[in-house]
C-alpha cells in the first residue's frame, strides 16, 4: 500500500468575507440589559437570532395585525391558565389585542374557580386515589346553575359563563378571561364533551344543556373564523387534541358556508402545540417553543412595547 499524499491546496477557491453569506453580524448581537432602564430597552437588547428573533418577529406580526385593525383569535386550554398567565390574557383583551377566544371546558373550570375562589388545578393523582377528582361542590353547583339557566334562554356555554362571572363579580373576577371577554364584547366560546370535566359528574349537571351550549359555541366559532381573512392572526397556546379537532371542523364549516380565510398569520406556543399543516390560508407561521410560563410573558412584553 502506498502512503496517502496530502492535498495540494494551491488551487483552492476562496471568497471575500465581504461577499460571503454570513449568519451572524454585529447588528444581530445582544446588548447587556441595564437594570436601571425600562423593559422596552430590555426587549430591544435581545439578539436578533434564533428563538429571540422568532419571538420579536412574531410580536411584530401581531402588532401589525392590531394596528391594521385586523382580528386575532386565540385557542386556549388549561395549560395556559395552569401556568399562571390569565392576567396577561386579560390585559391583552382590555387592550383590544384579542378579538376572539376559543377554550376547552377544563380551561373554563380553571377560569371560574380562579374568579370565585382564587384557587384551581386540583391534584389529579390524589383525587383519583380518594375518588374526589372533579367533585368540587361549589364549582359544580355554580357552573351548572349558570349553564342550565343560560342555555335555556338561548345562550352558549361561553356566553352564559362569561356573563355569569361578570354579573356576579366574585372576589377575583378581574383575573377571569371569560369575564373580561364578556365585559369587552370579545367573542368567547367553550368546547367540551359530556363527561370530560368534573362538573359534569354532579347531580346538578344537565347533559342536554351542556351539549346544546357547546354545540352553539361551535357554530359561533365557525361564524367568527372569517375574521382571520386578509391579515388576521391565529394564536395557538393549547395542547388539547380535542380543541384542535373543534377548530378544524369549525374551519371546515365556515368554508362550507362560503367564508374566506386566506393570508393570515399563525403563532404557535410550546413544543406540544398541535400542527396546523392541513389548515389552508396560513401565510406566515411562527413557532415559539419553550415553556409557556416564560415565552408568553416575554412575547406579551415585546408586543406591548410595539403597540403602546
SS3 content of the chain, % helix, strand, coil (to 5): 55, 10, 35
- Write the CB contacts of 213 (distance below 8 Å, at least 6 apart in sequence): 147, 150, 151, 155, 156, 157, 160, 190
Across 170-182, average pLDDT: 94
Does residue 24 or residue 255 have the better pLDDT? 255
Residue for cell digits 412574531? 58
Q: What is the dihedral of CA 175, 93, 142, 216, to 10 degrees?
A: -160
Across 142-156, average pLDDT: 95
d(CA 258, CA 253): 9
pTM: 0.87
37, with CB counted inside 10 A (0-12, 13-18, 19+), is exposed
What's the confidence (pLDDT) of residue 29? Answer: 53
Q: What does the pLDDT look like over 245-302, one tens digit per residue?
A: 999 999 999 999 999 999 999 999 988 899 999 999 999 999 998 899 899 999 998 9
Residue for cell digits 385586523? 70
d(CA 190, CA 88): 19
Confidence of residue 43 (pLDDT cuts 50, 70, 90): confident
Quick one: DSSP state of residue 69? Answer: T
d(CA 242, CA 170): 30
Residue ranges per structural domain of the chain: 43-307
Least confident interval from 11-25, 74-88, 111-125, 247-261 = 11-25
Q: What does the pLDDT look like over 55-90, one tens digit per residue?
A: 999 999 999 999 999 999 999 999 999 888 999 999
What's the confidence (pLDDT) of residue 299? Answer: 93
Percent of the chain predicted with pLDDT > 70 = 94
Among the listed residues 191, 195, 163, the one whose alpha carbon sits nearest the alpha carbon of residue 176: 163
CATH architecture of 43-307: 3-Layer(aba) Sandwich (3.40)
Amino acid at each position: 500500500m502506498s502512503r496517502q499524499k496530502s492535498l495540494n491546496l494551491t488551487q483552492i477557491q476562496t471568497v471575500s468575507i465581504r461577499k460571503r453569506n454570513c449568519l451572524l453580524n454585529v447588528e444581530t448581537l445582544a446588548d447587556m440589559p441595564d437594570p436601571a432602564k425600562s423593559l422596552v430597552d430590555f426587549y430591544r437588547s435581545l439578539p436578533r437570532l434564533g428563538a429571540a428573533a422568532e419571538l420579536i418577529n412574531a410580536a411584530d406580526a401581531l402588532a401589525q395585525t392590531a394596528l391594521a385593525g385586523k382580528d386575532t383569535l386565540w385557542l386556549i386550554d388549561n395549560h395556559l391558565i395552569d401556568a399562571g398567565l390569565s392576567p396577561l390574557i386579560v390585559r391583552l383583551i382590555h387592550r383590544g389585542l384579542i378579538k376572539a377566544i376559543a377554550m376547552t371546558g377544563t380551561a373554563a373550570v380553571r377560569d371560574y374557580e380562579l374568579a370565585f375562589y382564587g384557587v384551581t388545578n386540583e391534584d389529579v393523582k390524589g383525587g383519583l386515589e380518594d375518588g374526589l377528582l372533579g367533585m368540587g361542590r361549589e364549582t359544580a353547583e355554580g357552573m351548572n346553575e349558570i349553564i342550565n339557566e343560560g342555555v335555556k334562554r338561548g345562550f352558549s356555554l361561553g356566553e352564559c359563563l362569561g356573563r355569569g362571572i361578570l354579573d356576579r363579580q366574585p372576589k377575583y373576577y378581574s383575573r377571569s378571561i371569560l369575564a373580561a371577554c364578556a365585559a369587552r364584547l370579545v367573542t368567547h366560546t367553550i368546547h367540551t364533551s359530556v363527561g370530560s370535566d368534573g362538573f359534569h359528574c354532579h347531580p346538578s349537571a344537565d347533559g342536554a344543556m351542556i351539549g346544546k351550549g357547546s354545540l352553539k359555541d361551535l357554530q359561533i366559532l365557525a361564524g367568527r373564523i372569517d375574521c382571520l381573512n386578509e391579515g388576521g392572526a391565529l394564536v395557538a397556546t393549547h395542547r388539547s387534541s380535542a380543541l384542535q379537532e373543534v377548530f378544524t371542523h369549525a374551519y371546515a364549516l365556515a368554508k362550507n358556508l362560503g367564508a374566506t380565510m386566506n393570508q393570515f398569520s399563525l403563532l404557535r406556543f410550546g413544543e406540544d402545540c398541535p400542527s396546523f399543516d392541513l389548515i389552508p390560508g396560513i401565510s406566515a407561521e411562527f413557532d415559539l417553543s419553550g415553556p409557556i410560563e416564560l415565552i408568553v410573558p416575554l412575547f406579551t412584553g415585546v408586543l406591548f412595547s410595539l403597540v403602546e
